[in-house]
Structure 1
């Protein structure tokens, strides 16, 4: 039988029996020894009895940590990753759905603004357009115009977001109505703050129409605008990508919607997340210039680089977003050379590595190359589109318990106490 070792000797570190440790941790005694075998607890053999004792401080620390982990949304069984309950996007069987509706069909039938607003509210309002307030737009344009000429689109969008936040005195109101009002103003403000490449469009219109002149100097034709609008709608959300998880962490801390979008843009700038479209664009340009994909793919593999625009960890076959965009691009005459280059890349790579299919970055690169857009245009499209999805996730997270995104660190440093350096 275990002895009560607490306070056994004055001044000695308080120790607990196995039974006491189990009660404090809320587990069975056998589980206490499982913690010991995993290195989460250290035990000391009791010289008097036949049981073990545990440092009370260490057991209490483990108890606090396990309580925090229990308060998380859910700990995924595989890989120990975080799983967050959401009703926005489902990815399953090589398809994806927005709130239970096939996302590719929804994007094919409705504009970006209609899909975004429906994702936020569950109400489909046909013909809705987002419009930037003049004061907010002016506040965003001034600092963006002062940036160095070599600034990238994500640099400009981050600055525009921060400036738009300052122009909105109601940004700290996290009610659904206020957040939606901010979102409908922020997205067109981001577009309007980007520098004009072609002839600026006057007045209001669909977001794709507003964005076009920020991406290319070519005249917009209806068919190309439809493809751009489709791309925006397809890219609104894609479950918990890295940027979306950053957004939910910020929203969990009750950051206002502009700060939430800033968190998403910061994560998107990472080379493993937002830069794929730029790489795919440059690859397609090179394939067209060299007359075939074989030497270009060979150069990538020789340098130890992945071939851009291929493969997706969530799909066994072709990314459904790429399938939808390719189908629409086929009707665009100017897309012929870039589309053929993309298919050549897929076929060339598949000859050696089965299972690598086109993803949305490759399809988006076909659009940007064929419409005379720069390599970074895909980043602008992606970031503007995904802002609506980030807002949807923020709205969802605002309804959850605050600060629930608080995992515990698995400390691997030296155990204290240590002498002062």
Structure 2
């Protein structure tokens, strides 16, 4: 009978750190299975012994490994401090998720929930086949995942899935029953004290490698609520659905954090700094100007303790949004509602605003993406939070990172009618070009974030001609057996359906990811040492 050993024993035998052990798993060097408890990773003793005798895999350079407690990458999705983002997108407010990334404090989630919910049970459309631990560190590439599977539903007092917009009653976090077989990652148990479904214990935030994180602690206050019309789409783990939520005067209620606002003087300066810029300048370029001015206007920017950085993060992200030129009236006070009014000349519908909110949540962090690594290096040198975000913005616009959404946006614009999809793909394949919005270096079998965001958009705008064009493009890519869509493609569909300005996808990406960059910055501030990479010299011999 085969002998299985735990990660600590395997690491000791190989003489490596656990982070490197998981890196071997992510690269296919080692196989791993889950223990009976669904939490421990077990390795074949025979395989570990063979690798120990053979030594480091050939042609593989040592990886930069950074221990982090923020985001773990699963087979097709990330987990924010242990929480499956498919359980949050379309349900949680972006501001709340940002606070969660920054602090890991369960009190950021609303402490109460309604006693009556009238929601149908969500069905599982595409269960995950993941056999990987969400703590496996993967490569540092960026953003697409596929597969629409996910852990169990948020449970209500009546036993059905919750239709609330945010998960409640933390710190109860438990694994889905399928976790013991490795089918699902950690999920939320929002059971009330005394509920049979409630779990006990703390968050058990995992420490994972090659990821961005922040270990600071802070508390967000929740002071009001926001009306959401019945019938607006609410996302479950596998997509969007319509339903009725908690009844408060015939309307659902969702918790909202205390308002995020930038100082008026700083906001005025950031707006004034853009007056000489070209009118058609892309939003991402404006965000770099805005960040610089906001930083220069903030006398508290050099306060690097966790509470101060959290406050700076709220002011900064609010300023990034509010300083963009306003195109329509915001439908609410949330970051999502205000960002919509800066990117779209038409007023937001509740359903499409939910999709935008979901996009912000899905894009808030993604482990050690290229921009996040750059942001962490800046933070390790004790650069202030504005400089950290400015560093991230400089990297994000590259076409192999956040700029891919702009490429996907332009690609979709070339398809005026569904029958043109074949020609558009053929031309790019003939020129040997990458097709933006498709494929991902981490999620080889597709991007679950993209699947969920597309579901939210389809539910919000059924039959829209831009969705039909996107579906034709998806079909053509499948016909050619080319890579599956990623979150950049879904973001391009969202901006096309809503009629947002050119480059809106990059701006959504940047505003969302600023939350992740600041979480990573907090972790580097806490670590207190400079990230100093070394080069492998390949030049002429030294003399």
User: If the TM-score is normalised by the length of the shorter chain, which range does it land in?
Assistant: 0.7 to 0.9
Give 3-state SS (helix, strand or coil) of 2:534's partner. coil
CA contact (8 A) 1:227 1:329 kept: yes
Partner in structure 2 of residue 10 of structure 1:
none
Q: Structure 1 151/285 Cα, relative in aligned 2: closer, same or farther at 3 Å?
A: closer
- 1:317 deviates by 2.2
Which of 490, 494, 497 is matched with 1:370 structurally?
497
**Counterpart in the other structure of 1:413:** 539
Q: Which residue of 416, 423, 446 maps to 1:295?
A: 423
C-alpha separation in 1, matches of 2:256 and 2:267: 22
Q: For 1:212 and 1:398, locate their aligned partners in 2 and report how far apart those are by CA, in whole Å.
A: 33
Counterpart contact for 1:329–1:335, Cα < 8 Å:
no
The reply on whether 1:114 has 2:96 as its aligned counterpart is yes
Residue 73 of structure 1 is matched in structure 2 by none
Which stretch shifts more, 382-391 or 286-295?
Answer: 286-295
Q: Tell me the distance in 1 between the aligned counterparts of 2:346 and 2:494.
A: 13
CA pair 341-151 structure 1, distance change in 2 beyond 3 A: same
Q: Provide, for residues 367-407 of structure 1, a one-character-per-residue CA deviation record: whole Å limited to 9, x for no partner.
A: 1011111331101100011000100010111111321x112
- Cα offset, 1:217, TM superposition: 0.8
Cα distance in 1, alignment partners of residues 431 and 541 from structure 2: 43
Q: TM-score scaled to structure 2, two decimals? A: 0.60
Q: TM-score of the superposition, structure 1-length normalised? A: 0.76
Q: In the alignment, is the contact (CA less than 8 A) between 1:165 and 1:258 conserved in 2?
A: yes
- Report whether the alignment pairs 1:388 with 2:515: yes
Which residue in 2 is equivalent to 1:191?
Answer: 321
User: What is the CA distance between 1:333 and its match in structure 2?
Assistant: 2.4
Q: CA deviation at 1:209?
A: 0.6
Aligned residues: 338
Q: CA deviation at 1:408?
A: 2.0
Is 1:143 the counterpart of 2:143? The answer is no
How far, CA to CA, are the matches of 2:360 and 2:77 in structure 1? 17
For the pair 1:127 / 2:256, whether they are aligned, the reply is yes
Correspondence for 2:312 among 160, 166, 182: 182
CA distance in 1, matches of 2:275, 2:444: 43
Give yes or no for contact 1:310–1:346 (8 Å, CA) kept in 2.
no
The structure 1 segments of at least 4 consecutive aligned residues displaced by more than 6 Å after TM superposition are none
Give, in whole Å, the separation in 1 of the partners of 2:296 and 2:463.
41
Structure whose residues are more often helix by fraction:
1
Contact 1:191-1:384 at 8 Å conserved across structures: yes
Q: Deviations over 1:235-289 (max 9, x none)?
A: 0001111100000000110101000001101111223222211111122222234
Structure 2 residue 327 is the aligned partner of structure 1 residue 345: no
1:274-332 Cα shifts (integer Å, max 9, x gaps): 22111111222222346331111111112221222111111122211111111111212
1:154 lines up with 2:280 in the alignment: no
Maintained 8 Å contact 1:140/1:164: yes
CA distance in 2, matches of 1:139, 1:96: 37
- What is the match of residue 47 of structure 1? none
Q: Where do 5+ consecutive residues of structure 1 fail to align? A: 1-76
**Contact 1:247-1:260 at 8 Å conserved across structures:** yes
- Alpha-carbon separation, structure 2, partners of 1:409 and 1:333: 50
Partner of 1:32 in structure 2?
A: none
Which of 517, 520, 528 is the equivalent residue of 1:401? 528
CA contact (8 A) 1:335 1:371 kept: no
Q: Who wins on radius of gyration, i.e. which is larger?
A: 1
Partner of residue 166 from structure 1, selected from 251, 271, 296: 296
SS at match of 1:353: coil
| 269-278 or 213-222, larger mean C-alpha shift | 269-278
Match of 1:55 in 2: none
Q: How many Å separate the matches in 2 of 1:337 and 1:345?
A: 13
Q: Is 344-353 or 332-341 further displaced after alignment?
A: 332-341
* Distance in 2 (alpha carbons) for counterparts of 1:191 and 1:415: 51
Q: Does 1:96 align with 2:78?
A: yes
2-structure distance, mates of 1:120, 1:301: 42
Partner of 1:220: 348
* Inter-CA distance 116–335: structure 2 relative to 1 (3 Å threshold): farther
- 1:384, 1:210 → 2: CA distance? 12
Structure 2, unmatched stretches of 5+, are: 1-58, 110-254
Measured after TM superposition, the shift of residue 95 of structure 1 is 2.6
Q: Is the 8 A contact 1:322 1:358 kept in 2?
A: yes
